Amino acid sequence: MKLHVIGYKGVVGNATYELFKRLGYDVTGSDKDDKINKAEVYFICVPEDTVEGVVLKLANPSNLIVIRSSVVPGTCKKLVELCRYWHICHNPEFLREVIAVQDEFSPARIVIGQCCEEHGKLLKSLYRPLRVPIVLTDPTTSELVKLASNNYLSTVISYWNTIEEVAKRIVVSGHQVGMIASMDPRISPYGARCHNKYGGRCLPKDAQQLIQFAESIGCDPVLIKAVEEINEKCEF
């Protein structure tokens, strides 16, 4: 089976390419503007605002298109309709930018938003050598899982940055507060012991994506807006 990664020079694309290459699959890669090799499965790992254009260039409906980019819920459904019901799955990544390749080989779980049972099984078989839980769901759920996951991390970081600000004003160690509090198994240690503004390519972008999407369907994401505001004001 031939696999092709579009956007393989980026963080997600490179990690995807390296994973399948080291697992022994026949995989090639290209930038989104390069010539795209023929393949049976295409993994789309490009910036969100270019996903639709890249998908529409893949004119063969017999191939499977797998979007790894973080996109708003309903993107795959929309593209399936635009492409006259091609097979398009969503397979979100949960990678840390600095150690993306390492994370790709040791994920907590694989999420597959399957277009159909046949292609869900196909993708599951590709990831089976990793021996981690594989969750099959629909693409829209998968798209929201990705945004929900990143915004949870942003929320936890902003929460502990707020505690750090309180701690500084009463001259105690916010680090120690977080360390002691997170000994409770109900409290995530993520962000509790090292207080910094969140940044990078993903968290700020995905906060904006979720805010804009929620507002577009009539929701007011007050919490996510507050998380973003706290982060913007953070001075440490």
pLDDT of residue 61: 67
Find the catalytic residue in 45, 76, 89, 202.
202
pLDDT of residue 59: 62
- Could you tell me what percent of the chain has a pLDDT over 70? 98
User: Helices 139-169 & 174-181, crossing angle to 10 degrees?
Assistant: 130
Q: Which residue in the block uniquely carries the two structure tokens 């409906």?
A: 61
Per-residue model confidence as pLDDT tens digits over 127-153: 999 999 999 999 999 999 999 999 999
Distance CA 142, CA 81 (A): 18
Confidence category of residue 57, pLDDT binned at 50, 70, 90: confident
Q: Which residue in the block uniquely carries the two structure tokens 């509790």?
A: 192
Higher pLDDT, 1 or 224: 224
The answer to whether residues 215 and 80 touch, using CB atoms and an 8 Å cutoff, is: no
Domains in the chain, start-ordered, CATH in brackets?
2-137 (3.40.50.720), 144-233 (1.10.1040.10)
Per-residue model confidence as pLDDT tens digits over 23-50: 999 999 998 778 788 899 999 999 999 9
pLDDT of residue 193: 81
Burial class (CB in 10 A: 0-12, 13-18, 19+), 68: buried
The closest of 46, 82, 92, 43 to 65, measured between CA atoms, is 43
Query: pTM for the complete prediction?
Result: 0.93
Catalytic-residue membership of 202: yes
The answer to whether residues 71 and 45 touch, using CB atoms and an 8 Å cutoff, is: no
Q: Which residue in the block uniquely carries the two structure tokens 């503004």?
A: 197
Distance CA 129, CA 122 (A): 13
Per-residue model confidence as pLDDT tens digits over 82-98: 887 689 999 999 999 88
Distance CA 144, CA 182 (A): 27
